[in-house]
Structure 1
Amino acid sequence: MELEVRHLRALCAIADAGSVRAAARRLSMTQPSLTTQLRRIENALGGRLFVRERTGSRPTPLGRTVLSRARPIVAEMAALITEAREAVLRTDEARLRVGSTGGTGSSTVVGWLRRLHARYPGVDTTVHFEVSANLLLRMVAAGQLDAAFVHEVAGCPLQPPPGLEQRVLVEREPQFVAVSASHPAAHRAEIDLADVAQDSWMVDPAADGEWDGLRRVFAAAGLNPKVVLGDYNTAGILTAAGEVVMPCQPTSASRPGLVVRPLAGDPLTVRLLLVSRPSPAPGTDADEVFSALREAYTEIARGCDAYRRWLLRHGSPLLAGDPGAESPAGPPPAG
């Protein structure tokens, strides 16, 4: 068997996603077919490339060696394809391609796009979503994206390729928890980790740093909850049904059957970043792209009651100029 670029792309996807199942979803393949492909690659190379653990798939020493050579090849091939397609489709119209991890808040991204369209009416602006922040950063470095809105879990730094610019949107955003409206702790203004330690926590293995960040937080509290690996697209349904609880952004809205509450003491936090190339696209400006993102995020944050109360308590600059920032915070909303 001769290794092809598609095989290297599959290996990188497994490493980035953290499991064969998540990688198969990303590659639009079935899990059995990707598993079979992985076994053929391992047979061709003469050794195991990944070890399957409770939390997913981890590269072996041989796997890390292969990945270190595979990633540049995959990135270069992706850049070549992108450049070739752009050469074919190139027109006089400028293009701005932005990316985002879905977890950073789709409402923010919608507002961001609206503002970018208003700022640059002559620019074709598109958005690309990925669960993995590190994958988005590599796409920016490879020229497949101009900028990416990502989150970095505290204690689990991202790995931005050299040559990219970083702008900090929020230095410390608290992560809240989503629970079923029938959960015993759902009526509280804040939920303590101990109150949800007996629940199953759903974590998407493709979300860089989220499982490691949770594990660190629980270990520090002397807790060891059960973890369920899955994707956040279906997590809301399971949470509302009382099957799992899950971490979520403070801008997430409660909905029928599901409530969002702060975690007492803010044990889990992330840093929100815009990472871009120095010159995002002809006719655009990186500072303006960031300004549009900041305006969109601020609008959503101010409109989210639970998060707004948190911002008030912490004197956040996000509320600067908000006429209601000096008013006392009211009681928490009912579930």
Structure 2
Amino acid sequence: MARSRQVRRSGHRAWGLARRDRAADKVPRQPTGNLVRRYLQQRLKFRHLRVIDAIATHDSILQAARTLGLSQPALTKSLQEIEEIVGARLFDRHARGVDPTPFGLTVAAAARRLLAEIGRLEDELDALEGGDGGPVVVGALPVAAAGVLPGTLARLKIARPDIEVRVIQGRTEELISQLSRRELDLVIGRLYTLAEPDGLVRTPFYSEPISVVARADHPIFDRRDATAAVLADYSLVLPTVSQRVGQEIDVLLAEMGVAPHQPLRSSSVAMIREILYATDGVAVIPHMMLAGDLLRGALRLLPLPATGRPRPAGLIRRGDTALLRNTQAFVDAARAYVGEIESRLAGPPD
């Protein structure tokens, strides 16, 4: 009986060791001195590249899953599958998200290169089929989305009703990443100074100056002492300081000697517009944001001297492919509409 129990215990230990060995086989192993054959060409799939790129872009499993339209467990399973194929851990998990390991950085860089090559191939095939390029996918920064795109799309609809345009609004970092991944044809909006070259082509063709804007019948336009000091007599409406433009405006107001007292701040163009119409509030914003209202005469610019830095705006695109016909038609419409805005607003104040 004792011998039987001993045999069973030995069998349990052996079975447990076998289970642990099988589990260990599923954990990616860091390479040793011997090279490991991974057979990436046979095992690594296109969907794997998109998973790695999304995780590396967002530094978050949850955000990457949302971007790809997957559940978090499904994305986690895909990541585990990729790590098994590669034979190494690609991301370290922590409370705030994930950080790429050295292996993760290498694989993510390769994934982006391969995805870019696929996108370039798609562009070349489009060009061979006729060069129109299909739908135009435009990334728009907030000021351009509110002030430049509506008139641009109206012009384009008249000139080329056959062109489909898809607009994605976002912040610079988000849109630049999407443009590099070939998810966008171009980006329109403010051209910020680069910390380092990114290989993209920037073409300025208009400006987004910061101006003082109020409704056309505002009492501020009847005042003869229209200097920066009069702004203290009215409630100011400003963009939020979390936006780059909000920070620039705060610097400009300080240079003008204006200290806003409890200003209303909003990131919503619609809210800023309605506040201007409903109250005696005065907005300090890039006037391109409300270009349509200014052209219709519903809002006016207060001619105050501004000392802000130049704020060039225009297009950002990849430099490795030429613009296809549909995209070029969009660019032409944007240039024409911006030219109309600048021409009509450049006249002498009423």
TM-score bracket relative to the smaller structure: 0.5 to 0.7
Paired position in structure 1 for 2:279: 242
Paired position in structure 1 for 2:202: 166
Separation (CA, whole Å) in 1 of partners of 2:185 and 2:196 = 14
Separation (CA, whole Å) in 1 of partners of 2:235 and 2:56 = 38
Q: Is the 8 A contact 2:220 2:226 kept in 1?
A: yes
Separation (CA, whole Å) in 2 of partners of 1:255 and 1:121 = 24
Separation (CA, whole Å) in 2 of partners of 1:256 and 1:274 = 26
1:192 aligns with 2:241: no
Paired position in structure 2 for 1:301: 342
Match of 2:175 among 136, 150, 156: 136
1:94 aligns with 2:129: no
Q: Which amino acid aligns with 1:242?
A: T
1:126 aligns with 2:165: yes
Match of 2:149 among 109, 118, 124: 109
SS at match of 2:237: strand
Paired position in structure 1 for 2:94: 45
Give TM-score scaled by structure 2 length: 0.53
Greater helix share, structure number: 2
- Deviation (angstroms), 1:149: 1.4
Separation (CA, whole Å) in 2 of partners of 1:206 and 1:131 = 14
Separation (CA, whole Å) in 1 of partners of 2:222 and 2:256 = 23
Distance change in 2, residues 1:110/1:201 (3 Å): closer
Separation (CA, whole Å) in 2 of partners of 1:7 and 1:191 = 52
Paired position in structure 1 for 2:5: none
Separation (CA, whole Å) in 1 of partners of 2:56 and 2:186 = 28
Q: Is the 8 A contact 1:190 1:263 kept in 2?
A: no
- Deviation (angstroms), 1:130: 1.6
Separation (CA, whole Å) in 1 of partners of 2:276 and 2:60 = 31
Q: Is the 8 A contact 1:98 1:127 kept in 2?
A: yes
Whose Rg is larger?
2
Paired position in structure 1 for 2:245: 210
- Deviation (angstroms), 1:145: 1.0
Q: How does 1:211-290 map to 2 (within 5 A)?
A: 211-225=246-260, 226-227=262-263, 228-242=265-279, 244-246=281-283, 247-250=285-288, 251-254=291-294, 259-268=299-308, 269-278=310-319, 279=321, 281-283=323-325, 290=331
Q: Which amino acid aligns with 1:132?
A: R
- Deviation (angstroms), 1:139: 2.2
Q: Is the 8 A contact 1:180 1:241 kept in 2?
A: no
Q: Which amino acid aligns with 1:218?
A: L
Separation (CA, whole Å) in 1 of partners of 2:166 and 2:242 = 19
- Deviation (angstroms), 1:138: 2.6
- Deviation (angstroms), 1:294: 1.7
Q: How does 1:145-156 map to 2 (within 5 A)?
A: 145-152=184-191
- Deviation (angstroms), 1:214: 0.8
Separation (CA, whole Å) in 2 of partners of 1:248 and 1:147 = 22
Q: Which amino acid aligns with 1:276?
A: R
Q: Is the 8 A contact 2:216 2:299 kept in 1?
A: yes
Paired position in structure 2 for 1:325: none
- Deviation (angstroms), 1:150: 0.6
Separation (CA, whole Å) in 2 of partners of 1:130 and 1:276 = 16
Separation (CA, whole Å) in 2 of partners of 1:98 and 1:200 = 32
- Deviation (angstroms), 1:264: 1.1
Q: Is the 8 A contact 1:217 1:267 kept in 2?
A: yes
Q: Between Structure 1 and Structure 2, how many residues are aligned?
A: 253
Distance change in 2, residues 1:148/1:190 (3 Å): farther
Separation (CA, whole Å) in 2 of partners of 1:301 and 1:254 = 11
- Deviation (angstroms), 1:132: 2.1
**Which piece of structure 1 moves more, 139-148 or 222-231?**
222-231
- Deviation (angstroms), 1:160: 8.3
Paired position in structure 2 for 1:177: 212
Separation (CA, whole Å) in 1 of partners of 2:304 and 2:168 = 30
Separation (CA, whole Å) in 2 of partners of 1:283 and 1:7 = 33
Separation (CA, whole Å) in 1 of partners of 2:296 and 2:189 = 28
